[in-house]
Structure 1
């Protein structure tokens, strides 16, 4: 399926790795949690390969990486939540072109929802801190529904909230999680070329196009087109 943006009227946008570079926040919170438990710190590269599938997945992978017993999980979870809440957004940066791209979509009359596997509390606080919350009619975190991306349920529920059919709702993300969820939900999907994608080359993902910046999605006559589909790293 190829994207025909002239048929779209809404968009679902991922958060971490798509709108905001949150890797420094993840690393800082994990390192603070590990230090509290007397465990060694982890490398940022490991974190970049591990984010995107929810906090529980990230935490379990981190404990396994440092050789900690599974029995530490509950203590680690409580410590991580506390540290992340305190650090959320402090070191994160909005990607170049992200706010501008959202503005163009909003100006064209598109309805927007943010769907992320990040806990909803942290997602809403981050969007508010970065000034991006104003673009979204709805924000759904990884705890909003019974299943997370790559399951299609969050996208289908977001389409329902936006009042748009999946085929007319563009998914914009940075990873195979986003693409798989979009495919299963029946949404067209564009991926940014600068995100995390679990440490794998994003152009190997089954998507309908790629953009180097969100403002490469050009808007004309109320429709978007892939202005930068062939560009980017």
Structure 2
């Protein structure tokens, strides 16, 4: 296994990487769709839609349920309300996730969480699950003008961390994370258990894959 040398920092994704939040998404989305008299979506469909930000999730879920695009504002408002109520209730930290963060911190790396989830929801979730203290910065999908897979969030996180992108390890669970890292010039590892829009994650261009976040120790 190759090892990364000279790393200064690490940027870690949230949903599908640190915490399994699919249950929260399913409950909040289906509650919002129910308010609009639309049918609920199965978890397998919701999982395929996760990862590109809340706006994309709500628009896509609305279409999957047969709702008109004109219902988007009402669906968005309902989703935000319901997600705020259930955030973290149906979510669980993945085995090895906290150990992986501890490994990164003990390696002397500065840590940021960069997610397409809204920042407020992300911070609340990390706090609930006992992970917030590991991070010097948390940036959500509303923090910058563009979201992953655009490299902007990673580049801005590197700026905040005071690290060079080439010396900042990115850890995520999807092609979005990998594409953003490649465009930013950062090394990237992907976990094999998260959400990748229904596609095999090991087919994604990445430097390596982790069965558990704890396995990052073998790369440092």
TM range (shorter): over 0.9
Q: Are the counterparts in 2 of residues 111 and 162 from structure 1 also a CA contact under 8 Å?
A: yes
* Residue segments in structure 1 that go unaligned for 5+ positions in a row: 226-233
Q: Are the counterparts in 2 of residues 3 and 188 from structure 1 also a CA contact under 8 Å?
A: no
Match of residue 131 from structure 2: 132
Q: Are the counterparts in 2 of residues 174 and 194 from structure 1 also a CA contact under 8 Å?
A: yes
What is the SS of the residue equivalent to 2:189? strand
CA distance in 1, matches of 2:201, 2:55: 23
* Residue correspondence of structure 1 range 1-233 to structure 2 within 5 A: 4-218=3-217, 224-225=219-220
What is the SS of the residue equivalent to 2:98? helix
4+ residue segments displaced more than 2 Å: none
What is the SS of the residue equivalent to 1:41? coil
Distance 1:3 1:198, change over 3 A: farther
CA distance in 2, matches of 1:173, 1:93: 17
TM-score by length of 2: 0.98
How much has 1:100 moved relative to structure 2? 0.5
Cα deviation 1:109-132 (Å, max 9, x = unaligned): 110000000011100100000000
Match of residue 231 from structure 1: none
TM-score by length of 1: 0.92
How much has 1:58 moved relative to structure 2? 0.5
CA RMSD after TM alignment: 1.1
What is the SS of the residue equivalent to 2:138? strand
Q: Are the counterparts in 2 of residues 3 and 189 from structure 1 also a CA contact under 8 Å?
A: no
Cα deviation 1:22-41 (Å, max 9, x = unaligned): 00000000111111111110
CA distance in 1, matches of 2:142, 2:93: 23
CA distance in 1, matches of 2:57, 2:196: 14
Give the paired residue count.
Answer: 220
How much has 1:3 moved relative to structure 2? 6.3
What is the SS of the residue equivalent to 1:218? helix
Match of residue 230 from structure 1: none
Q: Are the counterparts in 2 of residues 3 and 208 from structure 1 also a CA contact under 8 Å?
A: no
